[in-house]
Chains A and B, each alone.
Chain A
């Protein structure tokens, strides 16, 4: 009996024990890092340190460790995954392509880095996320105009790029001054996929080819179509970062100075650290995460939500939208949040007013059409998680006793029927008694 009580208490405590990704605090906490080589842990320590200093628990494992698994008993053990294992052909344990995709599809985040001679497995994961790496395994991004100036001439595979995605939400408010150093494989984004974004693009003069061999065919990837770093925000708001270079995360490139070819300014420190740190903040939901709560709608002047509206009712709609600042929920302020009153097409489209404290509200009249409507808020802004709220509500026509009882236009009819009745009455009397 006492055992049973203990068991019950444990079960009751279970939810409080988990610190995982919850709607309440969307920032990830536990992150699994899969490495090709243990040495990466020290050679890329700056990147890992910055994550740990922000409160993430990193668990380092070798990618072919037979004991790794992402979930146990249907519960995910991690909130995020970093794949720094570009050459792995087969993960250890129960992790495979499907497991990683399921991990993302259940709302968890992923940072993966390919590199020159990336394995098929890594390529497949990228393909599933809408990113195609150059098919030639030896290909690298080469740029003869914007390469990093160094002591030796080299083959111009260490390129610099400052073609960032223009979004404060993704890259932070602070401008990245120094360009980013990159050495690795380029990729293209699938035009059919509207969710993938180029976070860092190559310059128009770049191309992707094997630097060691002579170029016999025109390169398949050229110019700014080449993406160096891409991000994906899935429909369930899971975020994925795909990079073509593992070395760009390394301490060496974080520390090294940079001078773009043909440019006189020499930066003491490359932009890599700032770029990747900010990007990892975004990927791990420290920024750009919105939530909508307290969606409510009611007739003007009433407190409770009705189960059904009537045509031509005046109604109020309100929703509270908050943004996650990394530690707490702050009111989200924008002027462009819109609500639709939708039945196959929007019958009402209104921009919501805000009180600057997170509350968005509006009032409108239900259109003169009955049917099953939806309040729809489809708020998709670059970098922010997409808000898509829909609430179904039927709109009914007037009841039989909700029309006006007497209308002026009908007075002739009332008059005629009453005069008819009176006339008939008089006629009857006259007919019966006037003989």
Chain B
């Protein structure tokens, strides 16, 4: 790498300089060495820019596996909603988008889309789209949406570089950029097609943090203002902004306590908080939460505390008597804390300050959701993280993280305190909820980068000083700094040098392993669109199950435009986006009762369910069934959550009715209510006639490895309308009431 750079540099310097100097340089090598030496800074810059460019490109292309393997399509569930809204935004304009009342979801309640989403992602994509269109590139909005996340991931590497530079040095910045470009924890949410809020939010998060640290380091209003705008972008993009608005006050608080309070912090925090808050209020979904919700109160408290501190400083400046000041301090602090506590108490009691939301509680107490809010606990990405997924998502960063912490503590500054706090808090949250690994990833990368950079720097210094000492030690005197290092080196020179080389090779090996691991994880685990499933066939060939889209297009083509489709909420966004039909519930789980009603319908007997479906004007019921293909995240496996969520609102639904001795089963030994509830009937209708696997009886469920218990299912109020080729999606039509009864 270095050799190549020098070659490039040589050519560059040659072209810049006149032929005479080139010749002189050619003939007098010591002169050319001098000219090169003069341009060390430029060389370094060139290397840095080249590395950053390569990292930038790498971050983009490593996320393109899914596009190459499948096609340019939107993944998963939520991205379909984002895609649909972006489409609406580009077609109808911003004001229509802002005021959009969607009557196609949450029938019959509807949803005010403009007021219940974070518009940052859609506006960003629409902006990119219009810029590209303005440049006369005829692209489809879908392509823009698919590539938004990789593009922002690339931008994140740049931010990571500057952040690393701010924290440590430019070497750490480069390593951080390289680490974050391919870190699986981040790639999981930013592959091409994963058009979700997190894709841009991590960029915004890191940008805000970087600008804030910069503001604290410089004490400049301009950086604080920039950080407020970064915060605004974050608020507009993702609900995770709550992390920022709690971490920054916590950081300020820690600085106050550790006696690192400075005017720089005062300027940075106040400017960022006030402007950020005002800007954030412009997002409809956030509104007045910054002054009214309990989750944002910490920031406000620290803001007032900061004023008290400033005031005290001023008083201290005026009062020369320390005793008097001590008394004054005691009174002021007591009063301030007392007033704050009273204000908080009164605000909470009067309902002006809303209490913490369930999601927030479940962060602080991981068992909270399980006991109180089944709908949060039911989401797989809200589960506590398994240790293996830390290994999977972070790989060597997991070991480098403590090392980085060590280096941070060794060279403590305002900036390193920040990154340490960011790292520790986000690691805690990552342990609580699996999807928050994403938030921890940048901190992990930055801290690990510090470790890598500092270690390698030390090691190379060891190696290079050694050779330099051997080479130039006799001719020239060493500087005082080098002398001290030489003094420490002198004790066991040969061993240390070899050790350093070995350690360097080891570090190189580890980093190589990291790269292969990241590429493997990206390619194998995080690049499947989950709307198209792939499996290995008997001969090692790839089998594609495109049943979801088959079903949604069937809905689009064969049902009346105002048909209402009932399904479990997971598929709501996809049905509205791809099937273009009205759904009862969708992934925006804002109304628990409505979801519970659907859960109740699914877990009731057919006649009871029919009443519920009639009352909701349901025309079609869609279930996802993996018994034929062995697809395990189907509705039967999610069914207990439907029972729990339904039972949470309607106590007639009781979980034990569906279990046998606490065991969930679908075979002959299953509970009678289980065997006759709507979900079971719809999933297994006519399944008893099907031979799924050689050597197994008909009706053998491959997803659960059991022969089903009710093979003779008769439907009275529904009729099968469509089943996809691999039976993954089954659609039933709700019959009209009997004509003569």
Bitwise, A379-401 to B at CB < 8 A (1) or not (0) is 00000000000001011110110
Most buried by B among A130, A192, A395, A399: A399
With known contacts A130-B741, A234-B740, A238-B739, A372–B615 Cβ distance under 8 A: no
Q: How far, in angstroms, from A370 to B116 measured CA to CA in the complex?
A: 14
The reply to whether A371 and B739 form a contact with Cβ atoms under 8 Å apart is: no
Residues A186-212 near B (CB distance < 8 A): 192-193, 195
Bitwise, B605-644 to A at CB < 8 A (1) or not (0) is 0000000000110000000000000000000000000000
The reply to whether B110 and A234 form a contact with Cβ atoms under 8 Å apart is: no
Closest partner residue, chain B, to A233 (CB atom): B740
Question: Does B42 touch A at the CB level, under 8 Å?
Answer: no
29 A-B pairs whose Cβ atoms sit less than 8 Å apart in the complex = A101-B740, A104-B740, A105-B739, A105-B740, A128-B740, A129-B740, A130-B740, A130-B741, A232-B740, A234-B739, A234-B740, A235-B740, A240-B740, A308-B103, A344-B616, A371-B103, A372-B107, A372-B108, A373-B108, A392-B562, A394-B101, A396-B101, A396-B103, A396-B110, A396-B112, A397-B101, A399-B95, A400-B98, A400-B99
The reply to whether B741 and A192 form a contact with Cβ atoms under 8 Å apart is: yes
B29: A residues at CB distance < 8 A: none
A234: B residues at CB distance < 8 A: 739-740
Question: Does A42 touch B at the CB level, under 8 Å?
Answer: no
**Is chain B's interface secondary structure helix, strand, loop, or mixed overall?**
loop
Question: Does B662 touch A at the CB level, under 8 Å?
Answer: no
Question: Does B109 touch A at the CB level, under 8 Å?
Answer: yes
Bitwise, B104-115 to A at CB < 8 A (1) or not (0) is 000111101000
**Other than the known A101-B740, A193-B741, A235-B740, what 14 A-B pairs have Cβ atoms closer than 8 Å?**
A104-B740, A130-B740, A192-B741, A234-B739, A234-B740, A235-B737, A308-B101, A308-B103, A344-B108, A372-B107, A372-B108, A372-B109, A392-B562, A396-B101
With known contacts A104-B740, A195-B740, A371–B108 Cβ distance under 8 A: yes
Closest partner residue, chain B, to A192 (CB atom): B741
Q: How far, in angstroms, from A370 to B109 measured CA to CA in the complex?
A: 7
A373: B residues at CB distance < 8 A: 108
The size bracket of the interface on A is 20 to 34
B737: A residues at CB distance < 8 A: 235
Q: How far, in angstroms, from A372 to B736 measured CA to CA in the complex?
A: 21
Q: How far, in angstroms, from A111 to B112 measured CA to CA in the complex?
A: 54
Q: How far, in angstroms, from A160 to B740 measured CA to CA in the complex?
A: 29
B103: A residues at CB distance < 8 A: 308, 371-372, 394, 396
B741: A residues at CB distance < 8 A: 130, 192-193, 195
Question: Does A50 touch B at the CB level, under 8 Å?
Answer: no
Question: Does A256 touch B at the CB level, under 8 Å?
Answer: no
Min Cβ gap A423→B in Å is 17
The reply to whether B739 and A236 form a contact with Cβ atoms under 8 Å apart is: yes
Q: How far, in angstroms, from A108 to B724 measured CA to CA in the complex?
A: 37
Question: Does A343 touch B at the CB level, under 8 Å?
Answer: yes
A193: B residues at CB distance < 8 A: 740-741
Min Cβ gap B424→A in Å is 40
Q: How far, in angstroms, from A25 to B736 measured CA to CA in the complex?
A: 26
A235: B residues at CB distance < 8 A: 736-740
The reply to whether A370 and B112 form a contact with Cβ atoms under 8 Å apart is: yes
B110: A residues at CB distance < 8 A: 370-372, 394-396
Q: How far, in angstroms, from A395 to B101 measured CA to CA in the complex?
A: 9
* 4 shortest interchain CB distances as A-B pairs: A394-B103, A396-B101, A372-B108, A399-B99
A399: B residues at CB distance < 8 A: 95, 99
Q: How far, in angstroms, from A372 to B616 measured CA to CA in the complex?
A: 11
A105: B residues at CB distance < 8 A: 739-740
Closest partner residue, chain A, to B562 (CB atom): A392
Bitwise, A235-252 to B at CB < 8 A (1) or not (0) is 110101000000000000
Min Cβ gap A237→B in Å is 10
Q: How far, in angstroms, from A234 to B98 measured CA to CA in the complex?
A: 48
Closest partner residue, chain B, to A399 (CB atom): B99
Min Cβ gap B111→A in Å is 9
Q: How far, in angstroms, from A195 to B739 measured CA to CA in the complex?
A: 9
B108: A residues at CB distance < 8 A: 343-344, 371-374
Closest partner residue, chain B, to A392 (CB atom): B562
Closest partner residue, chain A, to B107 (CB atom): A372
Q: How far, in angstroms, from A248 to B736 measured CA to CA in the complex?
A: 36
A392: B residues at CB distance < 8 A: 562
The reply to whether B739 and A104 form a contact with Cβ atoms under 8 Å apart is: yes
Min Cβ gap A373→B in Å is 7
B99: A residues at CB distance < 8 A: 396, 399-400
A232: B residues at CB distance < 8 A: 740
Q: How far, in angstroms, from A195 to B109 measured CA to CA in the complex?
A: 32
Bitwise, B572-606 to A at CB < 8 A (1) or not (0) is 00000000000000000000000000000000000
Q: How far, in angstroms, from A129 to B738 measured CA to CA in the complex?
A: 11
A374: B residues at CB distance < 8 A: 108
A397: B residues at CB distance < 8 A: 101, 112
